[in-house]
Each structure stands twice: as C-alpha cells, then as structure tokens.
Amino acid sequence: MRAELLRGEIVMTRSPDLVHNYTVADVQDGVPRSRWLALQRQYVEMHRETSEPIPDIVVLERGAGPDSGRLVPVEAVTMLVEVVSRASAYRDYVTKRSIYAGAGVPLDLIIDPAAAECLVLTEPYGSSERADYRCQRNWRYGETLLLSVLDTSIDTGEFRRDPAP
C-alpha cells in the first residue's frame, strides 16, 4: 500500500500489477540518464495546495533536486508520469492532472495500458481544480512518443497492455 495526500485527503493505493511495473521500467529506460534522473514513487512537494502526490515516475534534471529528504520540490520537476489502473483512472486523468498543472509541472505523461495509449500534457495554466494544460496530444501504443521537454522520444511498441476490459 502507498498513501499520498491529494487536496487534503489521504488516498491509499494497493501495490501495482506487473503491466504497470513493466511500463514504468520501459519509460525509465527511455529517459536519457546523462542529463535526467527518473525516480520511482517519489513524494513531490506541491507548495500551492495540500498535496503530496507520489507519481509513478518523477523526472528532474541532474542537480536540480535536493541531495536528501523525503520530498522533491515541484520546482525541480520537469516531467511527472502516471500509469493508469482501473482504480486510479479518475485520480490520474482528473485530480492529479489539475494538481500538476496548478503547480506548473511542464509535462504530465499519462499512460493507459487498458486503452493502449499515452497522453502528453504541456503548457500548464490556472490554479486549484481549474488548472489544466493548454496542449495535449495522444499517442497509440506502437507509435514513438515525443517528449520535447526532455529532448527525447520513447518507442511505445513494447509497452504491455492491460488484458482486463
């Protein structure tokens, strides 16, 4: 189980399944390590609201974050990644999306193994529940996912699908 604070509410989530973990590993493998750190399940400190989410992956430029501690300040974050499960879909697509946009996270990547697609969100604006991203682009599994803020791309052809309907 993991516990995260989302808009003042403690949300408990059970351990992820293998499809989720394989997807996280595939994304981490695609992040160029020479410039970026891709951390799994790291708490992020959101200064504008009562939230301490735990994204599946937190990407920050080497040297941008603290050397120790429990929280990475959101200002150090370049990209956050959420891999959707049936239990987390609303939180990933709605709640966390607006939290991340309101905090100014440059890129929010939502990967959905059931739909076999990725959603890249950029250009955050607004605050609180009304915050969102101006630009969104969908990629189907099998396409090359372009992550311009990292100056890289990831082949989604090996991403595993969730076999459940």
Q: Name the band, by pLDDT with cuts 50, 70 and 90, for residue 164.
A: low
What the chain holds in terms of domains, given with CATH numbers, is 2-158 (3.90.1570.10)
What per-residue confidence (pLDDT) applies to 154? 96
* Per-residue confidence (pLDDT) for residue 70, from 0 to 100: 92
For residue 51, the model assigns a pLDDT of: 92
Which residue, among 137, 134, 87, 86, has the nearest Cα to 106 in the 3D structure? 134
User: CB burial class (10 A; 0-12, 13-18, 19+) of residue 11?
Assistant: middle
The residue length of the chain stands at 165
Mean pLDDT of 19-32: 96
**pLDDT for residue 47:** 81
Q: What is the pLDDT of residue 14?
A: 87
pLDDT digits (tens, 9 = 90+) for 38-88: 999 899 999 888 999 999 999 999 999 899 999 999 999 999 999 999 889
Rounded Cα–Cα distance for residues 114 and 33 (Å): 29
- Flag whether pLDDT at 1 surpasses 90: no
- Top pLDDT among 86 and 31 is at 31
Mean pLDDT in residue range 140-156: 95
Whole-number Å distance between alpha carbons of 80 and 110: 9
| 35, 50, 88, 117, 161 from 83: Cα distances, Å | 23, 22, 9, 10, 11
The residue among 60 and 162 whose pLDDT is bigger is 60
What's residue 87's pLDDT?
A: 86
Give the per-residue pLDDT at 165. 58
101-132 confidence digits (pLDDT tens): 999 999 999 999 999 999 999 999 998 889 99
